Each structure stands twice: as structure tokens, then as C-alpha cells.
A and B are shown apart, each in its own frame.
Chain A
Amino acid sequence: MKTAHWNYAVRTDRPLITAPLLFFSALALIALALSAWRLFGGLAFTGMNDDYAIGVWKTFNVMTLTALGSSALAAGLTTWVFNQRQLHVVMRTALTSSILFYGTGMFALGFDVGRPWNFYHVILPWNWNLHSALLEVSVCMTAYVALFLLYENLPTVLPARWFARIKPLYPYMVAAAFLLPAMHQSSLGSLMVIAGTKVHPLWQTQMLPAFYLIQAIVCGFASLILILMISCLAFHRPLDIPIMATLARFMAWGSLVFVVLRYADIVIRGELSTAFTDGWYAVLFQGENLFVLIPALVLLGARRRSIPRVLFVAAAATAIGGLVYRFSPTTLAFRYGRASIYFPSIGELLMCVGYISLAIALFILAVRRFAILPDRISD
């Protein structure tokens, strides 16, 4: 695989209609067809029931995938606040993937809620319940995608002279684009706090918002690394190992903070023995931590950070660990020890996969049409 220093984002020059695009588009179309059916048929075809009232669309497409879609937050903070200027060249990839993950996630959410016609209350502040974490998520996510993340993606699609008019707003919009995802990603964690003892003690903690936020940032790094590496593979671009290594270093530190805090939380709450004795729950808990800890330890070494395969596998493992962590309190560790179960039905699963495919298909089209993916071009 070729390597080079990236210095500019460039459109891909592969043919527009390729097998992968067709594949993902087909899956997306299936999801859209099923969505139309859901509109008229209600939600009974899903595997959701009154004991597991939220299913994969909320817990996966929104909660979990917006963690993958937090690369705009993660890379943005690193690039701007921590002044890693060399990462500017990957910002467009981060922004595009973020808005696509968020957008399709919220699109899925529109079909998951039972009474979407009442969602207009989100723009009527006098109807807001300020005590509700879900309100915070709804308002914040909507504002983020519709205003700030959208604005951040405008330079990609608008000609420079058009964008120049709203360019002075940039620092203030980006500051909000850091604040808002921090707010709603942590509020996604707050959602499960009110479920109290319905969530297994290894996961139920007042630190849930903090953990969800840290994991969002860690997964944001992981997803950006994976997207860049897979895109370079697919579109025959050279890899910029130092940039990947920087991202990986930040990811590793975030993972370490997460694992340390998580164990500290367990110890303080007196659940340390549970973490080693409670059957499958202990396995899940340790697994989530190990999938995030081991790659982090590996990536602490500078030399290992420059091995592409290590970067890829470590990022993938981190992503898996982070996604499972964000998924557990809502499903795997929810109503633990009781009789009911939840497993998505086939239609539900196809819609879940289809929306993800929609994001991927749109990404493929976007990198073809706009200058998003980084490359090295001669001066």
C-alpha cells in the first residue's frame, strides 16, 4: 500500500456506478421500502415489545452509530482546540461521514417513533420538559445536524465565493459544533440513568453521561481511522501514516481515560466483585473494556502506531468495544435476570442495515462528486 503525506482533499476518479455502490444502494432501497410499509403498518412487525420498548433503530442507528458519527467532534477538537493543524486535511472526511451517519440515524429515528407528526414540539420551547434527557438529545441533535454540522459541511459543497459571505461565523458555529455533540452524546448516556435498577449494576452509574461522551470521542477517532483506511484501499489512495498515528494516539489516550474511570467507578460503587463473578454480565463488562484497553496499550508505542495493519485492527477493535459499550445499557444489560428478551425481527434488522448502507452509498457518491478524501497532490 502506498503512503504519502496528505495535503489536499480531492474528488475520487473511480467510475460512478460500481459494484459496492449498487450493493449498498440496493440495501438502502430495501430499508426505504420497509420504511414506507412501517408508516402504514405500525411497529408490530419489529421485535420490540413493552418490556424492551426501544430497539436497534434507537439503540444502534442513533445511539451507537452517532458515536461513529462523532468523528467531526473528535477530529475537530483535536484539529482546532488542540491545534493539530496537520489534521485539517482529514476534516472534510470527518465532517461528511458525521453528517451522513447523523442524518441517516435521525431518519431512522423518524420511523422508530410512533407519532412523528408531533415532533414539531422540538422547536416550541414552551412545550419542552427541561428535566428530560431525551428532550436534550432531541433538541440538541436536531440543532446540531440542521444548523452547525450542516454549516461545517457547506465549504465542501458550496463554491468558495458563496461561502465567503458566511465565513466570518465560522469560529462561533464550530464552537457550537463542539458544544452540542458533547451535550447530546452525554445525554444519550443520561437516558439510561432514569431507568434505575432496570439496568445492570455494572452499567448503571451517575457517570453514564461522562462515559458515553468519552466513548463518543474515542469511537469518533476509531471511525475516522477506519473510514480513511478503507477509503484509501477502495479508491487507491496513499495512506498518511503520521496523521493516522496522531489520531490513533488521541484515541488511545481517550480509551485509557475511559477504562481507568470505569474501573474506578466500579470500585467506588462497590461492584468490583460483580465484575468478575456475575456470569455473562461479567464477561460482557470485561470484554467491552478489553476491546478498548488492549488496542490502547498497543497504540501507546510510537513504532507500533506506524504499522498500518496494527492501526486498522486496533481501530476496529476499539470501535467494536465502544459500540458494544453504548449498546449494553439499553439492551444487553437492561432488565437483566428477567424473563423477557429482545431480538430485532428480520424487517427491523434489514431496515437497520439499510439505513447504514444508505449512509455508505451517499458517502461513496459524495467523495466522487466533491473534494472530500485527502490525497497528496504536487504543488
Chain B
Amino acid sequence: MSTIAHRLELTGASRREFLTFCAKLMVAAPFGLAITDFLSPELVAQAVGAAKRPSVIWLHMQDCTGCTETLLRTSQPDLATLIFDIISLDYHETVMAASGHDAELALQDAMAQNDGKYILVVEGSIPTKDAGVYLKIAGRKGTELLEEVASHAAAVVAIGSCSSWGGIPSAGPNPTGAVGVDALIKDKPVINLPGCPPNPYILLATILEYATTGKLPAVDAFKRPKFAFDRVIHDHCPRRPHFDAGRFAKEFGDDGHRQGWCLYRLGCKGPVTHASCSTRHFNEVVDAWPIGIGHPCFGCAEKSVGYSLPLFSLAPINNATPSAMYPPIETSRGIVEGAAAGTAGLIGGMLLGAGYVAARKFDSKPVEEPTSHDDHGASS
């Protein structure tokens, strides 16, 4: 398999589009990834271009196909270049041309050819109730399918909240026993990219990081990559200054809402949701994300928040790390004006000087007492 750069050259893909793509990777992962740890898209292109095109097998479980849709919403490069030249999307039930038995063969082939090297991307949650009968693909249970494909994969990427922790299907009472991938796959490295859907560039950055460096990005306790999930929305929300200043929209369409004030009182779950939507918007349109268009975040990426807390209830903020923009307990007042200090010093000096001069005018010898109190004139 040749490198990505070679492949792009062969197929005549636009270099400018590839550079734009690399720039978007830099936005998606401004820090925390080796492939974007550069100062220009050209250097990123160099690093990514030198990687071997990774083979990706994409499985759908209990999904809505939204995560696929999010991948389709990339335009630079176009989808074809993306799935053929940058990655090699060897199996994807929605976009692949094959169907039926041909599709199953494609899966077997892809697994055999890239045994131990392909990246398994899972979309959708896996039902486990009643021995997993609630999902069958080509006659096989989802649990079995997942286990088999994962056993030959190099790494598993769970894209979307459903495969990360259960998502919508797992909303109470979770009738199908839907769980995320990492509840079932324990012997392979799993990385969760929650979101409903997540930004596609996070997926691409993760896959390319693996392809380029051979390592998955650093993850947190919930196996979410730190470069995209280490902060809550609240901590990098453009409306945060309104929160800090106490300006809230109280109803949809009221004055505050029209002016773009904070949506906390409308139930925004930003303070308790780890995600990066505020800086990596969607559909490649600026400000195309929930808060950006005036709807409170509902925490789709966060397990205990999305699909479990009511949409418009207040987010429970517990000891959120305060921003630096608060006045401290004690402020300092008062300054010493230079002119004033100088004048005071001058006056003090003058007084001391005058005092010294005056003191010298007085006798330093005791004055004899006059012998009588009937003096006429002065005694010297």
C-alpha cells in the first residue's frame, strides 16, 4: 500500500483541497496530536502524506446513520478523495456500492487483506438484552459481528454517542439493553468519540494520527481523546462572558435571546458537557452548532447528561473551575503620585533645614538667671 501523498498524486486530487483539509485538521486538533503539531498546513500535509493509507472498516449497529452523514458533510476534499485516497474505506454499508452477498464478501476480504492492521469504526450502540437478538445484520447478531470484526482490528474507534456509551437507544428505560463498544470489547484499544454526531474532523484526525504515528491519541478516563474532549463547552463558549456578567436569555425570542446572551437559564448543558463543538462547528458553516444558532446545548456527548437530563432543566454545576475573570477577595487601592512624594520630601527637608538653621541661632550655653526681677533693659 502506498503512502497517502503518492495515492493523491496518482489520482490527480487537488493539492489545494488537501491543504485545506490539513488546515481543518489543525482546527479540529489544535494541540494534543502529533500530526497537527506544526505551524502550517504544508507541514501537516507533509506528515500526513507520508503515512500509509489506513484501511478502515465501518460497522453500523443500532444507529441513525447520523455519524456517517457527518462524514459526508466534508467538502474539502470531496468524499471520493476522502474515502479512497486519504483513508481506504473498505467496508461501509451506507456508501459502498456492493450489497447483499457481495457486501459480506467485501467485509471478509477486507478483514483478510488487512488482518490486524485495519481500524474498525463502529457507529451505533449494541443491544445486549435477551442475548442481543434486537440487532441482526445478515442474520448475525450485532454482538457476534462486533466481536469477530474487532478481534482482527488494530484499534476500534467508537464514533458517536451511541457507540461510545449507548446514546439515544440507551435512554431510559433502555428496552434493548443498548451499550457502547467499550462495554463489550475489552482486548483491543478502544477510543470513544461521543457526540450526536461528532465533528467529522475529529474522527479523521484520530484515524490519521494512528496511521501516521501508529498510536492512538491520549485519552481520558472515559477513553475520549483529550485533544477534543478535555474541556466542557462552558469553558470555551463564546457566550461565556454573558454568563460571567449575568446576562441570560430567559425565553426563546426575548430581548436577551435576540442579543445572543447566555442560554444557561434555558437549560444549556454546556457547563457539564465535555465536547468541542464551540470551536469546531458543523457542516463546515461558521457558527453552525446549537448554541451558535441560539439553542441551548443538551449535552449529547456526555453520558449522564444527554438523553437523560431534561432538555430545558438547569444544568447542575458543581464546583466548576472558575474563570480568571473574577475580582479577588481583596483589591488594592491608592497610588503614590511621584509629584506628591517629591513635594512631601521637599517640604520635610525644608522644615528640617530651617529647624537646623534656627537652632544654631540659639545659644548653646545655659542662660544665667537674673539676680532681681526689676531689670531695666535687656541682659545679653
Contacts and interface: CB of A to CB of B under 8 A. Distances in A.
Contact of B337 (A242, A304, A345, A379): A345
B315 to A, nearest CB: 36
Given A49-B333, A340-B332, A343-B336, A307 B344 contact: no
Contacts of B337: 47, 343, 345-346
Contact of A3 (B333, B340, B378): B378
B347 interface: yes
Contact of A242 (B330, B332, B334, B369): B369
A148 B339 CA distance: 41
Given A230-B358, A344-B344, A349-B343, A51 B334 contact: yes
A87 to B, nearest CB: 15
Contact of A338 (B330, B343, B370, B377): B330
Nearest to A340: B333
A225 B19 CA distance: 91
B333 A303 contact: no
Contact of B366 (A303, A338, A345, A353): A303
Nearest to B342: A346
Interface stretch (A65-73, A76-84, A102-110, A309-317): A309-317
B16 interface: no
B362 interface: yes
Nearest to B362: A308
B318 interface: no
A309 B363 contact: yes
Nearest to A343: B336
B325 interface: no
B116 interface: no
Interface string A1-15: 111110000000000
Interface residues of B, number: 34
B370 A1 contact: no
Interface in B302-339: 330-337, 339
A290 interface: no
Contact of A339 (B331, B363, B376): B331
B241 interface: no
A311 B331 CA distance: 47
B367 A306 contact: yes
**Interface SS of chain B: helix, strand, loop or mixed?**
loop
B365 interface: yes
A28 B362 CA distance: 29
Nearest to B330: A339
A376 interface: yes
A3 B368 CA distance: 10
A256 B222 CA distance: 77
A242 B367 CA distance: 9
Contacts of B347: 349, 353
A238 interface: yes
Nearest to A347: B340
Nearest to B364: A309
B366 A307 contact: yes
Nearest to A237: B378
Contacts of A379: 376
A5 B340 contact: no
B2 interface: no
Interface string A326-357: 00000000000011111111101110010000
B130 interface: no
A376 B378 contact: yes
Given A343-B336, A349-B344, A2 B359 contact: no
A52 interface: yes
B375 A4 contact: yes
B101 interface: no
B361 interface: yes
B361 A1 contact: yes
Contacts of B367: 3, 239, 241, 306-308
Nearest to B356: A313
Nearest to B344: A349
A343 B378 contact: no
B341 interface: yes
B358 A306 contact: no
A233 interface: yes
Contacts of A51: 333-334
A279 B355 CA distance: 29
A239 B362 CA distance: 10
Contacts of B11: none
Given A339-B330, A343-B340, A308 B363 contact: yes
A102 B343 CA distance: 25
A5 B370 contact: yes
Contacts of B335: 47, 341, 343
A49 B335 CA distance: 10
B344 to A, nearest CB: 6
A189 to B, nearest CB: 25
Contacts of B331: 339-340
A312 B334 contact: no
A316 B339 CA distance: 27
Given A242-B369, A307-B364, A349-B344, A2 B380 contact: yes
Contacts of A229: 358, 362
Chain B CB count within 10 A is highest, among A1, A5, A239, A348, for A5
Closest 5 A/B residue pairs (Cβ): A339-B332, A308-B362, A340-B333, A49-B333, A343-B336
18 contacts: A2-B380, A3-B378, A52-B333, A229-B362, A306-B366, A307-B365, A307-B366, A307-B367, A310-B364, A313-B359, A340-B332, A341-B333, A341-B335, A343-B335, A343-B340, A344-B340, A346-B337, A349-B340
